[in-house]
């Protein structure tokens, strides 16, 4: 069965990593772990994540969301059929149909309508009431930010330079939103532009809302620059923002062990193991 990384989820669903991690923390999905303890999502996980975000945006209560998602999981196949799927939600009732059959609701209670298809071997999840355009809409600053962010994610594989420019536009639209800062810095780091990545992360720390993933990614960069003490500080800030950030505890344990600080290493490794333990 195919599985998807956080980056895949971010690209397919157009959700920032901070939102994905928030939905995991809220208990809406329980992804598996890969060989390096990274999250691996099933096809069902992707659909549940997207549905959860849509229902949250519609101000549905968590109790009703949990009930709707439980219903959704029961009706999702293990793999996506060639015809795709049409998924709709009205209140806490979810309907899953073959992709050739669309669900129509005319009573004003429509909350979710997803078309899920495979195109050219690539999974696509489209909300039917989303308006698509080549250029971002300019109605409000928030819409501009969201559109440039989505465009940047879509461009990362095909045109990384254009993706970097789009992330910069998203940041200019809303300097307090950490998501675009995080992805901008990460992409610069991945392309080997560590100096610029550090500049972006430091600007983000000054201007954006506090974010555990921002501190974590900054720590990864500082590690690659062999600035171990600075990396430790960044990881510590990350787990202060989110004590349940397992990867932060793991990296702290690894660095403390390398520094010979066994007690610190054992404490964080123990916390990491507790966080990743999944009751069976």
CA distances to 112, 115, 195, 202, 234 from 80, rounded to whole Å, are 19, 11, 42, 42, 40
Which pLDDT score is estimated for 63?
Answer: 75
Instruction: Say yes or no to pLDDT of 221 above 90.
Output: yes
The rounded distance, in Å, linking the Cα atoms of 278 and 280 is: 6
| Among 132, 131, 97, 93, CA closest to 116 | 97
Instruction: Say yes or no to pLDDT of 143 above 50.
Output: no
- Does the structural domain 6-127 have CATH classification 3.30.70? no
Instruction: Return the higher-pLDDT residue of 123 and 158.
Output: 158
Report residue 212 as tokens. 């555990």
The rounded distance, in Å, linking the Cα atoms of 245 and 250 is: 9
Where in the chain are all domains bearing CATH 1.10.1660?
6-127
Report residue 177 as tokens. 């939103």
Strand partners, 179: none
| Residue whose entry in the numeric block shows the structure tokens 């550090």 | 198
Where in the chain are all domains bearing CATH 1.25.40.10?
141-276
Condensed to tens digits (0 to 9), the pLDDT of residues 100-130 reads: 544 443 343 444 565 666 555 555 666 655 4
**Average pLDDT for 121-144:** 47
**Average pLDDT for 43-59:** 76
Condensed to tens digits (0 to 9), the pLDDT of residues 159-205 reads: 889 989 999 998 988 888 788 899 899 999 989 999 999 999 999 99
Report residue 97 as tokens. 């149909």
**Average pLDDT for 247-274:** 93
CATH number, span 141-276:
1.25.40.10
């Amino acid at each position: 069965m195919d599985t998807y990384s956080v980056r895949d989820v971010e690209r397919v669903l157009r959700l920032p990593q901070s939102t994905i991690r928030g939905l995991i923390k809220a208990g809406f999905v329980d992804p598996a772990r890969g060989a390096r303890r990274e999250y691996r999502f099933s096809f069902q996980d992707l659909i549940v994540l997207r549905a959860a975000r849509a229902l949250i945006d519609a101000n549905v209560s968590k109790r009703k969301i949990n009930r709707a998602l439980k219903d959704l999981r029961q009706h999702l196949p293990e793999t996506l059929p060639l015809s795709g799927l049409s998924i709709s939600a009205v209140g806490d009732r979810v309907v899953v149909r073959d992709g050739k059959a669309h669900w129509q609701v005319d009573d004003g209670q429509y909350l979710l309508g997803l078309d899920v298809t495979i195109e050219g071997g690539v999974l696509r999840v489209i909300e039917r009431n989303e308006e698509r355009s080549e250029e971002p809409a300019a109605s409000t600053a928030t819409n501009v930010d969201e559109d440039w962010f989505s465009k940047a994610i879509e461009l990362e594989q095909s045109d990384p330079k254009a993706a970097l420019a789009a992330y910069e536009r998203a940041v200019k639209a809303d300097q307090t939103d950490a998501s675009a800062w995080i992805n901008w810095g990460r992409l610069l780091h991945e392309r080997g532009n560590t100096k610029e990545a550090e500049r972006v992360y430091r600007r983000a720390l000054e201007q954006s809302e506090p974010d555990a993933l921002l501190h974590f990614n900054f720590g990864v960069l500082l590690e690659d620059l062999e600035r171990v003490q600075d990396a430790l500080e960044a990881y510590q800030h990350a787990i202060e923002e989110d004590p349940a950030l397992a990867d932060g505890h793991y990296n702290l344990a690894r660095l403390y062990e390398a520094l010979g600080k066994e007690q610190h290493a054992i404490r964080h490794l123990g916390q990491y193991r507790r966080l990743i333990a999944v009751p069976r």
